[in-house]
Amino acid sequence: MRDARVTTSILGVGAVLLMGACGGGESGARPWSLEASLAEAGSGIPFCEEVTARVAEFMSQYEGQMPPSAQYGGAAVVGSIGEIPDGMNGHVSQDYTASQHQNFVNLMTLVAYDADANPTPYLAESWEVSDDNTEITFHIRDDVYWHDGELTDAYDVAYTFERAIDPETGFPNTAYWTHYDQGPDGVQVVDSFTVTFRMRPHADYIDPWRATAIMPEHLLGDVPSATLRQHPYGTVCPVGNGPFIFVQHRQDASWTFQANPAFPQALGGRPYVDRYIYRNINEPTTLLTDLLTGQLSVYIRPTPDQAQAVLDSDAVDLLAYPFRDYILVGWNARRLQLSDKRVRQALTRGTNREEIVDALLQGYGTVANGSVPPFHWAFDPSVGKDAMSYDQDAARALLEAAGWEDSDGDGVRENADGERLSISIKYNEGNDTRQDIAEIMQAQLAEIGVEVAPTVVEWGTLLSQITDPVDRDFDGVVIGWVVEYKLDDTDLFHSSSFSGAYGWSGTMRPDVDRLLEELPLVVDRDEAKPLWAEYQELLVDEQPYTFFYFPDRLDGVSKGLNDVQMDDRGEWVNVKDWWLSPDERR
Amino acid sequence: MRTFVVRRLLGAIPLVLGIATIIFFVVNLAPGDPAMRFLNPNMSDAAAEQIRVNLGLDQPIHIRYVRWLGALAQGDLGFSFTRNRPVLAIIGEILPNTLILSFTAIGVAFVMGILLGIVQAVRQYSLLDSVASIVGLFFYSMPSFWLALMMVLLFSLFASVWQWPIQFPPSDIQSVDYVFLGPMEKVQDRLMHLVLPATSLALVLAAGIARYTRGSMLEVIRQDFVRTARAKGLSEPVVIFKHALRNGLIPVITLLGLYLPFLFSGTVFIEFVFSWPGMGKLVVDAIGQRDFPVIMGGTLVFANMVVVGNLVSDLLYAVVDPRIRYD
């Protein structure tokens, strides 16, 4: 399975010759008709039989309806590695692909972000915040129907919030709601389409409503919170209110959705494509083949070494854009060798990250010097740029200042007690890029007298080793974080997180603590920006991680699929506006 | 015969339970935590703990084992941690895919392998024998995933680039517009999707089977009873297929017993390359996700396959060799 690299270089040659994706099929718009597969979803499960029958009944009024214009029709097929874990069950999931499908495909969020991360109305028509920033009132649209015909209302919103804060649910993103009042007065339904929440002032008070899909109270209201995870709603027969109706889920193979003819005109009406299909394909070479032969309209995240084959093809485009994740090498400062920040600085300065980004990512990425990715308003490219630039002499000087010198001439430095400057860097099995990083660091750091042992560990085991507050069985670890718009590093770098799951570095600084406490409370961005810069400079000095790079997100998109917008909000952000050129329809 | 089958099946129960018990403890005691899938600074430790409670992982392991056994006795394999459905329903949906692929591959492999082996034995040291041996060895020594990737490149990608009259879909068991197809088109669509994965599996197997058949046939056709059959004036096909083959097949049937269970687990690579939603892929995914109930359910299926596979090959011995009786 590891051989993908060899075969994709062969693919590169083939792609030049590609004559064009196979299209065919009828190009005329088709009348709307509910797909028969829905009737089979969850047959034998009473809940599913009941709701799918209700969906069929409600949707029967749209049978035979012609789409408004010739721009409508066809099937958009998206291929990606992996299932959609937890499916459409927003109560228990935080998986990226799952959230994307909940928020943009099958369900709706109260607000959406525009390309500059400004909140815009979606399920909520409008909202007001009290002057003291302690109350927010949402006015919900009165024309959004659940696919079974019930109106979406304020009770659904209140219900979604109550489930999220109910500890029994085990909602994995508890931090979304920490500044919301979780007491009995926290949420108040004013009328059927108006709901008020109480909160403490916070810089990103609106952000949770961008990330949380509203769930149907009338279907799930009676289900005990602790068993929500196992409810067939999630992966067998979801009923949403979003632009696409669920019609079929084939386990470990595909999810099929159909355009929702009842989606409000004010929000753009029904999506352009008749069908949207998510396919789970596990092998990058197969995914690329499917894209290049026209079986897929979108290939989510081709590997960097496949980028050229995508670029060379006449039938597909490569989209590359900065995303919300970063790759890092986390240092365990509890270790003698790594306890001095000068050593950690030296490890960063002794590694040529620029070269690694060019070589491993074919340039699709930016060297990182902090935890704020380029998409974020608080990003400052100048932070750490010079202070952490590649400089072997500076790195050697730092190590000497910290008391590590090679006194016995074996090429590895020792301290006064004779301890060797020898560390391991762990990475997870099956990730070639991270393995390459560990191995290149081994070679480069050897030049400044640091012995590095790259160590491969199975993913689940690695997570246990680094998150166990007692053992912390690692020196360095190559890993990645995906950050949210609501950026908060408290669990990573605050002293109180020393024994928390994510306090990997174990670094503690009062000035970092103070800023981490202050930042979330500054509502005004202009006021917050200098504070963020100050915080980033402290991180550069402390080097709890060697922040490695911000990878660009890559996507392969068929040229026949138009108006595709993909950015830091995700691949599916405007899936309802995608439309297929007539000869690409099937 | 019937008592033999019943006795074997009853004897298999403690065996399967033993396997399941060992796997249960290995899987549950191995490092890793199903709640780790949610690893994210946005998740509080309390939420992680609650997820463990909701998944039933807060109980000590012996309690979990007893509960799991109790549920198993009632035919309940529990709920998947990631797919959030009963494991039984998942396996019910996935197992047929694996069976279709395995039986097609094994059928093709044995027919191809045995025929090739017979030809090679009868025409020993001919040009045909040498060529078949080299080609066979080539496929036999080839890693199946590599062969599979080459199949994808050649018969999907290049077939499309060079506009061959026929090209095969590289992934899944059916196309996305399967629901709109007529009955005959559906069959054709499924067959088209079956060609590449089944061939990739069958080629490797057939090469091995041909080697075994050739060796065993060479031994048999030199024996006295074959010379006697020829001396009686029987035609050559009857001598080979009726007299020699039945005796030559015995070691090949042992091979069937070995290959059957292998095919259910050994298709993993093929299932990954061709995105075939089958048992091997399911269980390997589940191991990565620490989805204990799915791992356990899958393992039980595999264990049963081994038992059934061995039983089938034992019964086949009696069919080809009248001297073997199970009374």
Three-state secondary structure string covering chain B: CHHHHHHHHHHHHHHHHHHHHHHHHHHHHCCCCHHHHHCCCCCCHHHHHHHHHHCCCCCCHHHHHHHHHHHHHCCCCCECCCCCCEHHHHHHHHHHHHHHHHHHHHHHHHHHHHHHHHHHHHCCCCHHHHHHHHHHHHHHCCCHHHHHHHHHHHHHHHHHHCCCCCCCCCCCCCCCCHHHCCHHHHHHHHHHHHHHHHHHHHHHHHHHHHHHHHHHHHHHHCCHHHHHHHHCCCCHHHHHHHHHHHHHCHHHHHHHHHHHHHHHHHCHHHHHHCCCCCHHHHHHHHHHHCCHHHHHHHHHHHHHHHHHHHHHHHHHHHHHCCCCCCC
pLDDT tier at A275, thresholds 50, 70, 90: very high
Measured between CB atoms, does A8 come within 8 Å of chain B? no
Of A95, A277, A293, the CB nearest to B160: A293
Residues 6+ apart with CB under 8 A from A56: A34, A38, A39
Measured between CB atoms, does A492 come within 8 Å of chain B? yes
- For residue B294, the distance in angstroms to the closest alpha carbon of chain A comes to 13
For chain B, report the end-to-end CA distance as a whole number of angstroms.
6
Contact B83 A460 (CB under 8 A): no
Rounded to two decimals, the pTM is 0.90
Of A83 and B258, the structure prediction assigns the larger pLDDT to A83
Contact B46 A167 (CB under 8 A): yes
pLDDT at A427: 96
Residues 6+ apart with CB under 8 A from A212: A90, A109, A110, A160, A164, A176
Given a cut of 60, whether residue A15 has pLDDT beyond it is no
Number of residues that this document lists for chain B = 327
Give the burial string for A171-210 (b: 16+ CB within 10 Å, else e): bbbbbbbbbbbbeeebbebeeebbbbbbbeebbbbbbbbb
Q: Judge residue A452's burial from the number of C-beta atoms within 10 Å of its C-beta, 0-12 exposed, 13-18 middle, 19 or more buried.
A: buried
Name the nearest CA neighbour of B205 among B315, B116, B271: B116
Question: Strand, coil or helix: what is A409?
Answer: coil
CA angle A503, A507, A510 (to 5 degrees): 110
If one counts every other C-beta atom within 10 angstroms of the C-beta of residue A454, the result is: 19
Contact A86 B82 (CB under 8 A): yes
pLDDT at A16: 33
Give the integer Cα–Cα distance in Å for B213 and B231: 24
Contact A172 B43 (CB under 8 A): yes
Question: Strand, coil or helix: what is A240?
Answer: coil
Measured between CB atoms, does A175 come within 8 Å of chain B? yes
Q: How many CA atoms lie within 13 A of A412 on its CB side?
A: 13
Name the nearest CA neighbour of B153 among A1, A310, A15, A24: A15
Inter-residue contact B177 to A586 (CB < 8 Å): yes
Name the nearest CA neighbour of A520 among A491, A544, A488: A488
pLDDT tier at B242, thresholds 50, 70, 90: confident
Given a cut of 90, whether residue B34 has pLDDT beyond it is no
* A contact residues 251-290, partner B, Cβ 8 Å cutoff: 251-254, 256, 275, 277, 279-283, 285-287, 289-290
For the segment A210-236, the average pLDDT, to the nearest whole number, is 95
For residue A558, what are the β-bridge partners? A316
pLDDT in tens, B160-212: 989 999 999 999 999 999 999 999 999 999 999 999 999 999 998 899 899 99
Give ipTM to 2 decimals: 0.90
Residues 6+ apart with CB under 8 A from B97: B173, B276, B277, B278, B279
Residue type, A5: R
pLDDT in tens, A526-550: 899 999 999 999 999 999 999 999 9
DSSP assignment letter at A229 = G
Given a cut of 50, whether residue A392 has pLDDT beyond it is yes
pLDDT at B2: 83
- For residue A47, the distance in angstroms to the closest alpha carbon of chain B comes to 14
DSSP assignment letter at A67 = P
pLDDT at A422: 96
Interhelix angle A284-292/A4-16, rounded to 10 degrees, is: 10
Give the integer Cα–Cα distance in Å for A425 and B314: 52
For residue A415, what are the β-bridge partners? none
Residues 6+ apart with CB under 8 A from B315: B5, B326
Contact B32 A460 (CB under 8 A): yes
Name the nearest CA neighbour of B57 among A470, A170, A503, A88: A170
DSSP assignment letter at A508 = -
Inter-residue contact A311 to A299 (CB < 8 Å): no
pLDDT tier at A26, thresholds 50, 70, 90: very low
Given a cut of 70, whether residue A25 has pLDDT beyond it is no
- Only one residue has tokens 């329903």, namely B89
Given a cut of 60, whether residue A27 has pLDDT beyond it is no
Report phi then psi at A194, rounded to 5: -135, 130
How many interface pairs between A and B have CB atoms less than 8 angstroms apart?
205
* A contact residues 522-581, partner B, Cβ 8 Å cutoff: none
Contact B51 A464 (CB under 8 A): no
For the segment A145-172, the average pLDDT, to the nearest whole number, is 95
Q: Which two tokens stand for residue A475?
A: 């020196």
pLDDT tier at B3, thresholds 50, 70, 90: confident
For the segment B254-258, the average pLDDT, to the nearest whole number, is 80
- Report DSSP letters for A446-488, one per residue: HTTT-EEEEEEE-HHHHHHHHH-TTT---SEEEEEEE--SS--
Inter-residue contact A333 to A503 (CB < 8 Å): no
Measured between CB atoms, does A464 come within 8 Å of chain B? yes
Torsion, Cα A345 A347 A351 A353, to 10 degrees, reads -60
Q: Judge residue A128's burial from the number of C-beta atoms within 10 Å of its C-beta, 0-12 exposed, 13-18 middle, 19 or more buried.
A: exposed
Inter-residue contact A298 to A77 (CB < 8 Å): yes
For residue A459, what are the β-bridge partners? none
Q: How far is CA B233 from CA B122, B221, B242, in A?
A: 18, 16, 14
A204-218, A384-398, B179-193, B291-305 — which is least confidently predicted? B291-305
How many whole angstroms from its chain centre is CA A237? 24
Cα dihedral A255, A261, A263, A269 sign: positive
Residues 6+ apart with CB under 8 A from B60: none
Name the nearest CA neighbour of A580 among A101, A35, A59, A25: A25
Inter-residue contact A324 to A484 (CB < 8 Å): yes
DSSP-based helix, strand, coil % in chain A, nearest 5: 35, 20, 45
Q: How far is CA B190 from CA B103, B185, B198, in A?
A: 15, 9, 12
Task: List CB contacts (< 8 A) between B153 and chain A.
Answer: 7, 10-11, 14, 285, 289
pLDDT at A10: 37
Name the nearest CA neighbour of A163 among A84, A233, A96, A100: A233
Task: List CB contacts (< 8 A) between B47 and chain A.
Answer: 167, 170-172, 174
DSSP assignment letter at A152 = P
Select the residue from B172, B193, B283 to test the A interface by mutation, using most A Cβ atoms within 10 A.
B172
Name the nearest CA neighbour of B118 among B214, B246, B251: B214
Q: Which two tokens stand for residue B105?
A: 């591959």
Helix/strand number for chain A, H first, E second = 17, 20
